[in-house]
Chains A and B, each alone.
Chain A
Amino acid sequence: MAFLDVKGIRKAFGGTEVLRGVDLTLEQGQVLSLIGSSGAGKTTLLRCLNFLETPDAGSVSVNGEVLFDAAGPAARREADIRRRRLHFGLVFQSFNLFPQYTALQNVALAGKLLAKEEPEFRGRKKQLYRDIDDRARQLLEQMGLADRLDSYPHQLSGGQQQRVAIARALALQPDILCFDEPTSALDPELTAEVLRVIRGLAQRRTTMVIVTHEIAFAREVSTQVAFMDGGVVVEQGPPEQVIGAPALERTRRFLESYMSS
């Protein structure tokens, strides 16, 4: 069984079926890019993985553990979901940093709240919080933000904000880090700095699922590429195959329209 195993995910909004049975697999340490035109269902799929949407059908397992199964009875209880969703991290297109917290506080907040659920939290609070802060600082340094720890989001550029958001997602050590068009809100210069960070994560063998319109980047950084169209994965394989020599006409047409624009 693959590290990430997504089977038959379906999701409809109102009468519109956005996902019509998505199957995906991904091995640990690999990077999967999801490409396809707008409305193909890429973002909805990521949101399903992160429990921001509840699929109507299908299942998601990570490392052999079934995290979601639409057929299972206990799939939707909020308290259950909360722990399970920590297997995934999500970086949003619009960053969604908390504006009233500094970069460091943004990265450390969720960890500190989770620490309260640790056994003997009271006695170990100081030590736990110090470890969380240390780790947050380390991650921000790794993102090239060592001098912006105490900056508030509005004092940072879009690229810096997105790098804080990546550190925030990494702080909880998810098994799989998801990106939802992480550079769509950025100009080319800032895009480059964010892509550099993601490239670094790929080199460190972070398991990632990336929804992106940067085809050249997807080709370079991914070990797997999945082309989505009409709510299904049409073609999945290594980038040199899916992007370099697509087997299907639909994939070819998408890539051609992309290159020409």
Chain B
Amino acid sequence: MEHILQQMPIVLRSLNAGFLQTLKLFFVTGLGAIPLGLVIAFGSMSRFRPLSVLTRLVVWVVRGTPLMIQLLIIYYFPGIVLHRAIWGGGEAGRFLAAAIAFIFNYACYFSEIYRGGIQSVPAGQTEAGLVLGMTRPQIFFRVTLLQVVKRIVPPMSNEIITLVKDTALARIIALQEIIWAGQAFLRGSNGIAGALWPLFFTAVYYLIFNGVVTLALERLEKRLDYFR
């Protein structure tokens, strides 16, 4: 117990740095996947058959295979198969590869939530807009969208909380996020070696951050409570 207290400041400094990378991956994924998911949702709902079939095929593949494999393929495929190291060697390259894999993977999950949300808004809403001379984009942005947002907040909350924890998967390509930072103390880092507790302690970070995320999403849900 005593040496844990001694190790604490060093470990926390390292874990904080790792968690910063975790947060960066989380926010970049959210900012990228939330709009990209809408584009994919429109693709899968397109009346142009080839587009909707292709989009659904891609969504099926992405949702049907492990994110960890996708990370490995995106990171290693260009170097090993194409002999072109497009990601570069350093942490920035690993982050870029991880961000692309995460954005694409989560956009596919989000797209299915969006599609369900959009299709659950009664057709009468669109028809009412049409007979009032509104254009289709006006109807989508002024009438449908907020109703969709209201409907999808609960399922999106689930996905977003999962995303917080899924960022740990980036460890597989050695992204220096918090799991990587915790694990480092096993092998030896900053004069500490063979310590397992820092790895366990990373859970506290996830738990607290997910608490904050949950509160924020609950507030959003409450703010949309004014209509039904």
Q: Which residues of A contact B (CB under 8 A)?
A: 50-52, 78, 82-83, 85-86, 88-90, 92, 94, 96-100, 109-110, 113-114, 152-154, 168-169, 172
Q: Could you say which of B25-33, B40-48, B93-101, B134-142 contacts chain A? A: B134-142
Give the chain A neighbours of B143 by CB distance below 8 A: 98
Cβ A85 vs Cβ B131 within 8 A: yes
Confirm or deny: B125 has a beta carbon within 8 angstroms of a beta carbon on chain A.
Answer: yes
The smallest beta-carbon distance between A62 and chain B, in angstroms, is 15
Cβ B124 vs Cβ A90 within 8 A: no
Query: A116 — nearest CB in chain B belongs to which residue?
Result: B138
- With contacts A92-B124, A94-B124 known, is A110 near B228, CB below 8 A? no
Give the chain A neighbours of B227 by CB distance below 8 A: 99-100, 152-154
Give the chain A neighbours of B124 by CB distance below 8 A: 92, 94, 96
- With contacts A99-B147, A152-B227 known, is A114 near B142, CB below 8 A? no
Cβ A109 vs Cβ B142 within 8 A: yes
Cβ A110 vs Cβ B132 within 8 A: yes
Confirm or deny: B122 has a beta carbon within 8 angstroms of a beta carbon on chain A.
Answer: yes
Cα A52 to Cα B131 in complex, Å, equals 8
Q: Give the contacting residue for A96; candidates B122, B133, B135, B142; CB below 8 A.
A: B122
Central interface residue in B129, B132, B143, B146, by most chain A CB within 10 Å = B132
The smallest beta-carbon distance between A150 and chain B, in angstroms, is 11
Q: Give the contacting residue for B127; candidates A78, A96, A113; CB below 8 A.
A: A96
Task: Kindly list the 9 A-B residue pairs having the minimum CB-CB distance in the complex, ordered from nearest.
Answer: A110-B132, A96-B128, A96-B124, A154-B228, A90-B131, A100-B227, A99-B227, A86-B133, A100-B146
Give the chain A neighbours of B127 by CB distance below 8 A: 52, 92, 96
Query: A154 — nearest CB in chain B belongs to which residue?
Result: B228
Cα A50 to Cα B226 in complex, Å, equals 32
Give the chain A neighbours of B138 by CB distance below 8 A: 113
Cα A190 to Cα B218 in complex, Å, equals 37
Cβ B133 vs Cβ A168 within 8 A: no
Confirm or deny: B10 has a beta carbon within 8 angstroms of a beta carbon on chain A.
Answer: no
Cα A109 to Cα B139 in complex, Å, equals 11
Cα A92 to Cα B122 in complex, Å, equals 13
The smallest beta-carbon distance between B121 and chain A, in angstroms, is 10
Give the chain A neighbours of B135 by CB distance below 8 A: 82
Give the chain B neighbours of A90 by CB distance below 8 A: 131
Give the chain B neighbours of A96 by CB distance below 8 A: 122, 124-125, 127-128
Cα A54 to Cα B146 in complex, Å, equals 29
Cα A50 to Cα B127 in complex, Å, equals 10
- With contacts A92-B124, A92-B128, A154-B227 known, is A100 near B147, CB below 8 A? yes
Query: A92 — nearest CB in chain B belongs to which residue?
Result: B124
Query: B128 — nearest CB in chain A belongs to which residue?
Result: A96
Cβ A110 vs Cβ B134 within 8 A: yes
Confirm or deny: B203 has a beta carbon within 8 angstroms of a beta carbon on chain A.
Answer: no
- With contacts A94-B124, A96-B122 known, is A88 near B228, CB below 8 A? no
